[in-house]
Amino acid sequence: MPAIRRLPETLINRIAAGEVVERPASALKELVENAIDSGATRIAVRIDDGGLARIEVTDDGCGMSPEEMALALERHATSKLPDDAIEQVATLGFRGEALPSIASVARLTLESRKADAAEGWRRVVDHGAVIAEGPFALPPGTRVRVEDLFGRVPARRKFLRSPRSEYAACLDVIRRLAMARPDMAISLDHGDRRILALQGGEEIEVRVAQIVDRALAGNGVTIDLQRGDMRLSGVAGLPTFNRGVADHQYLFVNGRPVKDRLLTGAVRGAYADMLARDRHAVLALFLDLPAEDVDVNVHPAKSEVRFRDAAGVRGFIVSGLRQALASADKRSAQTPDAAAMERWQVEPARIEPTYAPGAALRSMFSGRDWSAPRGSFHEPPSTWRPADADVLAVPQGRAEPAAPADEGLAYPLGVARGQVAQTYIVAEAADGLVLVDQHAAHERLVLERLRAAGAGDKVAASQALLIPAVVELDEVACDRLEEQAGAFTRLGLVIERFGPGAMLVRALPGALAKADPEALLRDLADDLALHGESLLLGERIEHVLATMACHGSVRAGRTLSVAEMNALLREMERTPRSGQCNHGRPTWIKLSMADVEKLFGRH
């Protein structure tokens, strides 16, 4: 073994940088936190190429003297711990390693001036070596510029992602920090474009809606609860205002953005009986408690925390969220479909038939004449075509009529007899009673159709929209969708970029002709955010297909005709893997006639 030796200062700083500076977003987070702790009221951030080329943070805070600037660039030097009580830290950063660590792996220019100083000072450090310093003219405050990050550390540089991905991470950092400080004005420029321009002095619900989703303002509840020394505030979206991934949940502890399992588990528990398992709440929660009750030193980047009374914190969040949502249990997401509202206004009222005394009554399920003599039941010929025949029809494009009472029993899933709770199809087979979850079953059928349509080298059929739909999304979501536009075209979804924050939908897959383009694109963007970076193209397409299938399937709560129900049953019998939905749940169950007879004591 080689002899033990002391490492040189430059190598020590690079090792420390590995803990603190993982990517441009890590450096940006440290610099903005320093600006916030300086007492600034305005912070301006500028980045180029996702932060790979340049990161610049300017604030109007307290500033530093030349002596303090030199000390700030030494390891383990900080103004954020007035004494040795590290557990009492009330600032965002305190490790005292951020600036020297960044300066050891980049070219760092530090410019600062105190309010009472006649002039400012400038100090330039290039990968650990001071190369210039001297007087510099600038207004009171501090400006830090980081250039050529990891330029001389190729082993680290090659592991960075594309400028777009790094930009998305930087934008997420700014959003989270800006959300925690609605009193502060914050701007973000990427290249020559202004991305964010947030004014200071805003209410928390206004700031959150500006950053997360403007629709949250009308579809959320404001939270402000106190229990002992703990306070919970923020905005929680209604259960009906949900997203496909949990990326729209922002959690803060004592003003510090965190990604903590305990807190995310508490949110999931609060919404447990109000959301489907594959949907997630949209919210921003701010938990404040005494500094001695939370340990923020368990992670180098301070993104995880540990609570002294973990059970008490979890219970407070769950009960607080449930209490707030209970006050809004009569509300739902205020985003009605405009086309549906127009159809409601122009559709003529349905005239219910009236029956004279002694007249034959007809079943709403099968259309049989129930007053006919026993044994003479028959199904009338069906000439009705469902309104959504393109969605519910069998692959040949025709809706099958209801099967005759005796002939239908020969099918494995039998013949439809009715619908329960507008969700489950009740069918009678020769060997038992069949219950089918209409949404789960049709979701699987649509998925298999989409797979077959885009299999091999062929391009799936599209249904062009008469008027292309403009879907507004944030820029990062648009970037993700634009990168996959070619793959979407092969699946029949034709989209293109329509400015920095919008996508244009020109055509939908043939199997999704009735889908809502806006809802579809939002969920696809969420899917790509969750799986896009880590999965291979084939796996990514499978997730996209599953999301599309969910939007093209018959929903629970929709009344189906007998013809539609039987068409669904017949296609299930022809479709592989139709026994379970895309999420692994069963699509149908069968109760044998022997079991039915046992229920009534016949055996």
What is the helix, strand, coil percentage profile of the chain, to 5?
A: 35, 25, 40
Does the model's pTM come out above 0.85?
no
More confident residue, 72 or 131: 131
Report the chain's terminal Cα–Cα distance, integer Å.
Answer: 81
* DSSP 8-state assignment for residue 458: P
Q: Is the pLDDT of residue 314 over 60?
A: yes
Q: Is 245 exposed, middle or buried (0-12, 13-18, 19+ CB in 10 A)?
A: middle
pLDDT of 195 reads 94
User: Do residue 311 and residue 245 come from a single domain?
Assistant: yes
More confident site: 256 or 9: 256
Is the pLDDT reported for residue 153 higher than 90?
no
pLDDT tier at 155, thresholds 50, 70, 90: confident
Report if residue 335 sits inside a domain: no
Task: Give the per-residue pLDDT at 249.
Answer: 93
Least confident of 141-145, 462-466, 514-518: 514-518
CATH number at residue 506: 3.30.1370.100
| pLDDT for position 334 | 46
Summarize pLDDT for 75-99 with one digit per residue, the tens. 766 665 555 555 556 667 644 568 8
* Model confidence band, residue 532 (pLDDT cutoffs 50, 70, 90): low
The residues near 155 (Cβ < 8 Å, ≥ 6 apart) are none
* Spatial separation of the C-alpha atoms in residues 342 and 403, rounded to whole Å: 35
Q: Does 209 share its domain with 169?
A: no
Q: Are residues 188 and 220 in the same domain?
A: no
Distance CA 387, CA 382 (A): 14
Three-class secondary structure of residue 544 per DSSP: helix
pLDDT-derived band at 274, boundaries 50, 70, 90: confident
Q: Which residues share a beta bridge with 194?
A: 189
Same domain? For 274 and 410 the reply is no
pLDDT of residue 536: 52
Q: Is residue 355 part of a domain?
A: no
pLDDT at 530: 75
Residue ending a domain, among 309, 326, 343, is 326
Whether 116 and 257 share a structural domain: no
157's tokens: 């540089």
Residue 389 confidence (pLDDT) above 70: no
Q: Is the pLDDT of residue 335 over 90?
A: no
Query: With 50 as the cut, is the pLDDT of residue 363 above it?
Result: no
**pLDDT mean over 68-74:** 88
Residues 6+ apart with CB under 8 A from 363: 370
Q: What percentage of the chain exceeds 70 in pLDDT?
A: 73
Q: Do 39 and 166 fall within a single domain?
A: yes
For residue 285, give its domain range: 204-326
Give the tens place of pLDDT for each residue, 18-63.
556 889 999 999 999 999 989 999 999 999 999 999 999 999 999 9
Indicate the range of 152-156, 251-255, 322-326, 396-400 predicted with least confidence.
396-400
DSSP annotation of 98: H
382 pLDDT band, cuts 50/70/90, is very low
Q: In percent, how much of the chain has pLDDT > 90? A: 34
Higher pLDDT residue, 561 or 134?
Answer: 134
Residue 122 included in any domain: yes
- DSSP one-letter code for 48: E
* Nearest residue to 170 (alpha-carbon basis) of 365, 363, 356, 27: 27
C-alpha of 220 from chain center? 16
Q: How confident is the model at residue 232 (pLDDT cuts 50, 70, 90)?
A: very high
Do 178 and 212 share a domain, yes or no? no
* pLDDT(584) > 80: no
Higher-confidence position of 151 and 583 = 151
Distances from the Cα of 580 to the Cα of 32, 58, 484, 542, angstroms: 49, 55, 28, 16
Q: Is 148 a member of any domain?
A: yes
**In the predicted structure, residue 252 carries a pLDDT above the cut 90:** yes
> Residue 427 falls within a domain, yes or no?
yes
593 inside domain: yes
pLDDT at 535: 54
- Quick one: average pLDDT of 326-350? 45
pLDDT at 340: 39
Q: Are residues 56 and 24 in the same domain?
A: yes
In this structure, is residue 574 part of a structural domain? yes
Number of domains present in the structure of the chain: 3
Between strands 42-48 and 294-295, the pairing is unpaired
CATH number at residue 72: 3.30.565.10
Whether 68 and 134 map to the same domain: the answer is yes
Q: Are residues 445 and 369 in the same domain?
A: yes
Residue 146 structure tokens: 């980081």
Domain boundary among 326, 353, 380: 326
Q: Which of residues 165, 198, 231 is at a domain's end?
A: 198
Predicted local distance difference test score (pLDDT) of residue 603: 65
Tell me: do 71 and 94 sit in the same domain: yes
Q: What is the pLDDT of residue 533?
A: 55
For the cut 80, the answer to whether the pLDDT of residue 16 exceeds it is no
* 285 and 257 inside one domain: yes
CA atoms 325, 328, 334, 336: torsion sign: positive
**Residue 556 in domain:** yes
Res 174: pLDDT:
96
Query: Mean pLDDT across the stretch 513-542?
Result: 73
**Structure-token pair, residue 326:** 């209970």
Q: Where are the alpha helices (DSSP H) in 431-505?
A: 438-453, 475-483, 485-490
CATH number of the domain bearing residue 301: 3.30.230.10
